[in-house]
Structure 1
Amino acid sequence: MYFPVYRPRRFRRTENLRRMVRETSLRVDQLVYPLFVMPGKGVKNPVPSMPGVHQFSVDTLLKEVKSAAGLNIPAVLLFGLPSAKDEWGSEAHAESGAVQQATRAIKDRYPDLVVITDVCLCEYTSHGHCGLLKGKEVDNDATLEVLAKTALSHAQSGADLVAPSDMMDGRVGAIREALDESGLDQVGILAYSAKYCSGFYGPFRDAADSAPQFGDRRAYQMDMANSEEAMREVALDIEEGADMVMVKPALPYLDIIRRVKDEFDRPVAAYNVSGEYAMIKAAAANGWLDEQRVMMETLIAIRRAGADLILTYFAKDAAKVLRA
C-alpha cells in the first residue's frame, strides 16, 4: 500500500508533539468575566438557568472579583439590576446605581483590574426594552441621550471601558462625544456592533431580569440570516469611535467573527453567551458530555474564528484549567 511521504499523524502521537504544532492558543489574558450586581448587602442569589452564576450585591461581588483576580483574569464586565424600574430606566445613570457603586468599589480595591460596564436600558426599564418608547416602538434618537448619560456615569465612577449593547443607531458617536466633552477621552468603547436577535439569551434575561414585557427586539437587534449587514454595523461603529467591536452570540456566528477579524483593523471580542453556557452545563449535569473538555473546545473554537477577547461565564473555570 502506498503512503505519501508526509504523514499528518506523525505530529499527533504525543502531547508534546501536538503542543509544538498547535495553531491556536487560549490564554487567561483573553478572558473577560461577566458579573451581575444588584442593590443590597450579603446578596448572592443563584441563577437557576445558569448553574454557578449568581446575582451579587457589591460586598459579595468583591469576594467574587478577588477570586477572579487571583486567577489573573484581567477584566470583568458588569451588568446592573436596579432597586426600582421605571419607563425611562432612570436608575441606569444614577450615581447610587449598582454598577456605579460596584465600579468604584472594584477600582478602589483592585485598581489594575479592567472594569467594563454594559450600557443598555433593558435591565432598568419597566417595559424591558433597550430604549425609551414612543407608543410601542423604541425611539432611537431619544434613547441616545440616556445611553450617553449612562456611559458617562459609569466612566465617572472609574470604568475603563463602556460597552453599549442596545443596538441603537448612532449610540457610539453619542457616547464618544459625551465622554470627550467631559475630559474622559481615555475611557474606551467596546461596542456590541454585531448583536443578533438570538434565542441564546434566555438564561441571561433570568439573571438580569430583562425580558421585554411585550413583543421582542427584532426591530433593533440584527437578523440571524445577515452577514453583510454585520459588516456595515461594524464599519459604522468604528467610524463613530469604537475602540473594540463585539460579535454576540459567539458559537452560531463564528463566520461573522472571522469576517470582522479579516476586514477590520480593531480588536474583536466575542460573547460566549448565557444559552451557550447553559447548554454545556445542562448536558454535563446529565452525563452527556465532558464539561471541561467541551468548555475548552468551545473557547478554542471562538479563538480560532478570530476573537481577540472572549466574554464568558466559564472564565474562572477556564483560567483554572489554563493555570494547571
Structure 2
Amino acid sequence: MICEDPMKPTVAPFPAARPRRLRSTPALRNLVRETTLTSDDLIWPVFVRDGDGIEEPIASMPGVTRRSIDKVVDAAIEARALGIPAICLFPYTDPVLKTSDCAEAWSPDNLVNRAIRAIKSAVPDIAVMTDVALDPYNINGHDGYVVDGEIVNDETVEALVKMTVAQADAGADIIGPSDMMDGRIGAMRSALEAAGHRNVTILSYAAKYASAYYGPFRDAVGASGALKGDKKTYQMDPGNTDEALRMIERDLSEGADMVMIKPGLAYLDICQRIKSTFGAPTFAYQVSGEYAMIEAAAQNGWIDGERIMLESLTAFKRAGCDGVLTYYAPAAARLLNG
C-alpha cells in the first residue's frame, strides 16, 4: 500500500496571498495546472461488423458507428494521425453465428481476428486492444456459459482462454477481459506464456459493476435482445468499494499488467482509491450510457458538449487514471492537438 505524508499547504494571509493571481491569465493557468489531458491518455473503442465500405450509425450513440473492417482500418489510420495510441475492438456478430457453445469467439477468422490482422498490416505501430467475453457470441447474451439458469465459471474460463490465445495469435497487443469470471486472469496469463505470447499485455476489467449505464453498448453489439435476466451474479454490486480493491489485488497477483474500472464518472472514488492503493497502471471506461447522456444534452442545447467532454475526461485523470477508454477519443484528440 502506498503511504504518503498528507500535504500541508502554507498560505499567507490576505492580501499577501491572493489565489486569483495564478488564475489571472491563460499563461499562468497553464503553468500551474495540476492535471493535464493529452491524446496519449485515450483508447478509442470501435465497433466492427461484417461487410465492406460500411459505416452504420448507432441510434442510441449519436456520432458512433459500426464499421466494416476496411473502415476500421481507416479509423486506426485516423487514430495514429491524431496521436491516439490504441484502439479497442468490439464485434457486432451476425445472429446466425451466435450459439450456446460460443465457438465463433475463438475462430481464427471471426470479425475481430480479421480486423486485428488488417489493422496490424496497415498500421503496425498502433496498439490493438480486444474484448474477452462471450456475450457477442452467446445466444443468450451473457458473458459466460449458462447451464440450468446459472452462469457457470470454470467452463467459461476455459472458453475465454481459447478466445485470448486466438486474439493474441491474430496480433492483438492488449487483451481486455471484461467477463468478471473468477480465476480467468491467471488462466489467460499461463496460456499466453505457453503459446509464446510473452509480451501480450492484459488490461483487466477488474472492477466491472452491474451497471445501468451499459444499455447503448448492448445495442451496438447486438446483445440487448438476446440477454436473458441480468449480470448481477458476476458483475459487482454498485454499492461496494472494498470488494473492488480485492478484485484489483487478485487480478494483479494473477498477472494483469493494467486494471480497469467500469463504468467511469459514477465510480471516480473507486479509481482514486485503486490508484492510490496499488500504484498500478489504472484505466477507466467512459461507457456508452455516459457518452449518450452527454450527447443527448448537447444536442438539445442544454450543455456545451465540447467543454463537458474535456471536463469529464480530465476528471478521470484527476482521480488518478493513467488513461480512458472513450468514444470521444478522436474528437477530444482534435481539440487537444489544437
Query: Into which bin does the TM-score normalised by the smaller protein fall?
Result: over 0.9
Kindly report structure 1 stretches of 4+ aligned residues shifted beyond 3 Å.
none
Counterparts of 1:150 and 1:309, CA distance in 2:
25
**1:81, CA displacement in angstroms?**
2.3
The answer to whether residue 228 in structure 2 is matched with residue 214 in structure 1 is: yes
Q: TM-score, normalised by structure 2?
A: 0.94
Residue in structure 2 matched with residue 265 of structure 1 by the alignment: 279
The answer to whether residue 294 in structure 2 is matched with residue 277 in structure 1 is: no
The secondary structure found in structure 1 opposite 2:240 is coil
Residue in structure 2 matched with residue 307 of structure 1 by the alignment: 321
2:37 maps to a residue whose letter is: L
Counterparts of 2:322 and 2:53, CA distance in 1:
35
Residue in structure 1 matched with residue 53 of structure 2 by the alignment: 42
1:111 maps to a residue whose letter is: P
Q: 1:134 aligns with which of 147, 151, 157?
A: 147
Q: 1:251 aligns with which of 265, 283, 299?
A: 265
Residue in structure 2 matched with residue 123 of structure 1 by the alignment: 136
Residue in structure 1 matched with residue 122 of structure 2 by the alignment: 109
2:268 maps to a residue whose letter is: L
**1:72, CA displacement in angstroms?**
1.3
Residue in structure 2 matched with residue 194 of structure 1 by the alignment: 207
The answer to whether residue 23 in structure 2 is matched with residue 9 in structure 1 is: no
User: Retained in 2: the 8 A contact 1:248–1:270?
Assistant: yes
CA deviation map 1:35-61 (0-9, x unaligned):
011222222111001111111111121
**1:316, CA displacement in angstroms?**
0.3
2:39 maps to a residue whose letter is: V
**1:4, CA displacement in angstroms?**
4.0
Residue in structure 1 matched with residue 3 of structure 2 by the alignment: none
User: Retained in 2: the 8 A contact 1:82–1:91?
Assistant: no
Equivalent pairs counted in the alignment come to 323
The secondary structure found in structure 2 opposite 1:73 is coil
Residue in structure 2 matched with residue 76 of structure 1 by the alignment: 87
CA deviation map 1:25-82 (0-9, x unaligned):
0011110000011222222111001111111111121122222221111100011122
Single out whichever of 81-90 and 177-186 deviates more from structure 2.
81-90
Aligned-residue Cα RMSD (Å) equals 1.0
Counterparts of 1:197 and 1:37, CA distance in 2:
24
Amino-acid identity (%): 49
User: Retained in 2: the 8 A contact 1:77–1:116?
Assistant: yes
Counterparts of 1:126 and 1:132, CA distance in 2:
10
User: Retained in 1: the 8 A contact 2:217–2:288?
Assistant: yes
Residue in structure 2 matched with residue 59 of structure 1 by the alignment: 70
2:158 maps to a residue whose letter is: E
Residue in structure 1 matched with residue 9 of structure 2 by the alignment: none
Q: 1:178 aligns with which of 168, 181, 191?
A: 191
Q: 2:101 aligns with which of 83, 88, 94?
A: 88
Residue in structure 1 matched with residue 10 of structure 2 by the alignment: none
1:72 maps to a residue whose letter is: G
Alignment gaps of 5+ in structure 2: 1-12
Q: TM-score, normalised by structure 1?
A: 0.98
The secondary structure found in structure 1 opposite 2:27 is helix
Single out whichever of 38-47 and 248-257 deviates more from structure 2.
38-47
Alignment gaps of 5+ in structure 1: none
User: Retained in 1: the 8 A contact 2:41–2:323?
Assistant: yes
Single out whichever of 39-48 and 177-186 deviates more from structure 2.
39-48
Counterparts of 1:111 and 1:104, CA distance in 2:
9
Counterparts of 2:61 and 2:139, CA distance in 1:
24
**1:94, CA displacement in angstroms?**
0.6
User: Retained in 2: the 8 A contact 1:89–1:121?
Assistant: yes
Map residues 217-228 of structure 1 onto 2, 5 A cutoff: 217-228=231-242
Counterparts of 2:264 and 2:206, CA distance in 1:
13
Counterparts of 1:265 and 1:5, CA distance in 2:
37
**1:270, CA displacement in angstroms?**
0.6
Counterparts of 2:228 and 2:308, CA distance in 1:
36
